[in-house]
A and B are shown apart, each in its own frame.
Chain A
Amino acid sequence: MSHDHHHLELTGVGYRYGAKTALSDVAFSAHCGQRLALLGPNGAGKSTLIRLLAGLLKKQSGEINWQDAPLSQARREVAYLPQVDHHQKNFPLRVRDIVEMGRFPHLGHFKRFGKIDAEKTDQAIATMQLEDIADRQIDQLSGGQQQRTYIARALAQEAHVLLLDEPFNGLDIESRCHLSASMIELSESGHLIIASHHQLESVTDIFTHALVLDQKQVTYGDAKTVMQSKEVKEILHACHPAHTHPVTEHTSTDCCS
């Protein structure tokens, strides 16, 4: 099923923390099926943009639209996936409980968790191949399994846009391979994947598009074209003098081969 017509459009988006400008003049249009990397040095505004899209920060200027209407009116369309180990530790929650949280935007406080919610939860668990560990406690899982649990929560939410904050951080090689494969599958099944990323060697392997930020939008476009731009190389390589492949930890561009 094609979801290409589902599109996210930003125009003139900016954000300030007090007197400090974190982000300005962000304008791009992305649609389902894309995998968009947010690139830039530390403090470039990647997290700010993710938090704006996730609704965690209130937009101060510009427009963020989903399907030509303000994104703030379509919260359930966006799922936010924090870095692994972001949650409170030793919390008595199983994988299934966390995936069920994705149903909250559909249920609110008062609706009962019904048959359709159970079905969506089971489907999400199956899609992310978590059936065997669905009853395990979250803190007993590896970083990769936690990441898959969070993605399953986003699927149970039936969100079109998945926002991932540095998703490859803290994952072992095998988990990185699985995650990049999952991201590709999800975009091909009609999701728009947006992830902050700092491992430059793998950008073109994993992502179709790239947005380079440096407190403002530097450039946006096809990942291969962006990564070949001289200006981008200067900005990005200045803060990444040594870079390794996030999946193989080598400089090879072959992913999981």
Chain B
Amino acid sequence: MMEFFDLNLYQRAFIAALIIGYVNGFTSAFVLLHRSPLKLAAFSHSLLPGVAMAALLFTLTAITAFFGALIAAILIGVLTILLSRISKIHDETVLAVLYTGAFAIGIMVLNHVGSNQELEKWLLGNITALSDLDLKMSLVVGLITVSFLTIYRRALVAHLFDPEVAASLGIRTRVLEYVSFVILILVLITTLQAVGCVLAVGLIVTPAAIARSFVKTPDALFLVSGIVGAVGCALGLLASYYLDQPAGASITVVLTGGFLLSVLLKLKKGRA
């Protein structure tokens, strides 16, 4: 174990795992109550063309990748709403069409600008290769996210439970929806560099799915999901070191295993 912490590279990765894990876990409580994991999966794929365009038009840095991904996600979101309204086709269908198209464009652009390694980096991420700036951005986005979800917790929970009643209580539900969307995308982007755009979805969904079996209130769900996310990421990183496997995959496998275990425990508890 000491050997792991002796390595500077892994010390930094361990801190990143705790921050990204906690923030994603905390946010996963919202995603679970919002019932939007598949929409988020779609959006995570739409980040790739943003990163690719940043690489094509500017030098690829944490900042250009961040804004490229953010603009791509917002564009896909706005286009989904617009095209769904015009075509009268359900928004999830339009989103599926657009995100696969965007993802394909991302692959082509990255293929054009660089090697396959670049593509693999964004698809799979690398938590051990985060820069100081990456870490700082994760921390800032994390603080914004956790603060937003904590301060607006009452309104968000009421809105997710019954949007009409929430609106009648004076909660501006549409504004909350838009702000939440931007926050979710920000978390996805900062997670992208750590575990890649595909596995990022696991991080922002699974912790709350694990926690849900053991909690009865939204407050407990947020808190426990955050802890599960942090512990899951840290354990996944340790496992990746000792098993010599990619960190993103290892973290995701640990969380998925945790979910299966939580269901088994709940089953056992139900029978007891």
Contact = CB atoms under 8 A, between A and B. Distances in A.
A108 to B, nearest CB: 8
B158 A101 contact: yes
Contact of A86 (B154, B162, B218): B162
B165 A157 contact: no
B161 A55 contact: no
A98 B218 CA distance: 11
Nearest to B32: A92
Contacts of A110: 151
B151 A82 contact: no
A126 interface: no
B216 interface: yes
Interface stretch (B81-89, B167-175, B184-192): B167-175
A13 B159 CA distance: 28
Contact of A109 (B151, B212, B220): B151
Interface in A71-117: 75-76, 78-80, 82, 86-88, 91-94, 97-98, 101-102, 104-105, 107, 109-110, 113
B218 A92 contact: yes
Contacts of A80: 164-165, 168
Contacts of B169: 75, 101-102, 104-105, 157
Of A55, A92, A137, most B-chain CB atoms within 10 Å: A92
Interface in B131-175: 151-152, 154-155, 157-158, 160-162, 164-165, 167-171
B217 interface: yes
Contacts of B221: 92
B60 interface: no
A93 B217 contact: yes
Contact of A91 (B152, B161, B165, B171): B161
Contact of B157 (A75, A79, A93): A93
Of B161, B169, B170, B216, most A-chain CB atoms within 10 Å: B169
Interface string B207-242: 000001001111011000000000000000000000
A54 interface: yes
B104 interface: no
Nearest to A87: B162
Nearest to A97: B217
A181 interface: no
A56 interface: yes
A86 B162 CA distance: 7
Contact of B168 (A55, A86, A113, A137): A55
A75 B172 CA distance: 13
A22 to B, nearest CB: 17
B171 A137 contact: no
Contacts of A104: 154-155, 158, 169-171
Nearest to A165: B164
Given A75-B170, A92-B221, A109-B155, A82 B165 contact: yes
A91 B160 contact: yes
Given A75-B168, A92-B216, 11 more contacts: A88-B160, A91-B33, A91-B161, A97-B157, A97-B218, A101-B158, A101-B161, A101-B165, A104-B158, A104-B171, A137-B216
26 contacts: A54-B164, A56-B167, A56-B168, A75-B170, A82-B162, A86-B162, A87-B165, A88-B35, A88-B160, A92-B217, A92-B218, A92-B220, A93-B217, A93-B218, A98-B161, A101-B154, A101-B165, A102-B169, A104-B155, A104-B158, A104-B169, A104-B171, A105-B169, A109-B152, A109-B154, A157-B169
The 7 closest A-B pairs by CB, nearest first: A80-B168, A87-B162, A54-B168, A104-B169, A75-B170, A101-B158, A105-B170
